[in-house]
Amino acid sequence: MELQSSTSKNKTEKSKLSSALQIIISIIIVVLCVYFAIKDIDFKVLWEIIKNANYIWVFLSIPVIVLSHWVRALRWRRILKPIKYVKSIYPLFASVMIGYALNAITPRGGEFVRPLSFSRREKVSYSSTFATIVVERVIDLITLALLFILVMLFFNNTITNLISFELDPNKLILYSILFLVLIIFAFYPPVIKFLLAKIVKPISLKLFDRLTDLFNKFTVGLSIIKAPSEYFMLIIESITIWILYCLPMYFMFFSFNFHNIANLGFPDAILLLVVSGIATTFAPTPGALGVYHLAIQTAMVVIYKITPEDALAYATLTHAINYLIQLGLGGWYFLKENSFKKSSLYLKPQPDDNNT
């Protein structure tokens, strides 16, 4: 008993140490990115630019941003269909916003809370629901890659030089492995079951049964991949999401008169969307804080020769409006569902994922 207690204590201490290191690394990255973004900034000029921005376009961006999250909930309902068809979009939208709110506070925390929120409410497997988030992220990465190729056709040399500092080879490898594992899970489940039987079963039958049960539930969440009849609507919904992501960035050009000063149009908004997408995907900070600002500022200064103050003002407002919507709406839904008081909603595992 003492040995088990000691082992459990060591695991807890390691977990706390790991969390502390992640927080420290995030803080360091935020500080460094903010430093490089503001080191040559005239703050009086920056404040004047932000103060004199046309906020009509900022407010016009709000319903578009909210609609983009609503369409994401629509697409998620389609991906969830093999698990459970949900008639109302409202609970899905609530879970999406709760997930975004957590992402704004802790890096990627919302990716785990969103499926947990939904699985608890709808009484379905957490493992299956989490698998749909993996599918969703892969679809987003594919869409971002296609947009990247489109941007490369128009801004070849400039964009290559610009984003080279953002790409982490280790994370590219990680996402490639994730994609391959996803394909194997979806189309070749016998391979995984064979490996579990040969490697895990001889060591521990209980662990083998547990992993097999989790794997079976997880593969249910990937069922949409084997449903070509749903591909067309998934493509339409994915394109719609990214168009709605792009529109606020385009609207904000008018807020700073960039459409006249630098002749910026919708293709330029797509370029900045790709830059922000890469920054957000690889940023280990809450809500891509700091990383987003530096990436957008650098892109606008290098490509369009816009002043650092103008570029940082644009990055600050575009990030702030998204951040506040996610934190505000997500926090409201979080409190509305009484999730904070009913901590078991997020801290206890799903019964059907814990008992075999």
User: How do residues 14-23 score in pLDDT, each as one tens digit?
Assistant: 556 666 666 6
CA distances from 56 to 20, 31, 62, 98, 113 (A): 41, 31, 10, 27, 34
Stretch among 145-149, 306-310, 345-349 having the lowest mean pLDDT: 345-349
Q: What is the pLDDT of residues 220-238, one digit of tens each?
A: 666 676 677 888 999 999 9
The residues spanned by each domain of the chain are 35-354
Q: Is residue 334 packed enough to be buried (19+ CB in 10 Å), middle (13-18) or exposed (0-12)?
A: buried
CA dist., res. 316 & res. 41, Å (int)? 13
The segment with the largest mean pLDDT, out of 16-25, 135-144, 145-154, 322-331, is 322-331
**Predicted local confidence at residue 216, as pLDDT:** 67
CB atoms within 10 A of CB 80: 25
Stretch among 14-28, 112-126, 129-143, 225-239 having the lowest mean pLDDT: 14-28
pLDDT at 280 over 80: yes
- Whole-model pTM above 0.85? no
Q: What is the pLDDT of residues 48-101, one digit of tens each?
A: 999 999 999 999 999 999 999 999 999 999 998 888 888 889 989 999 999 999
Q: What is the pLDDT of residues 244-268, one digit of tens each?
A: 999 999 999 999 999 998 999 999 9
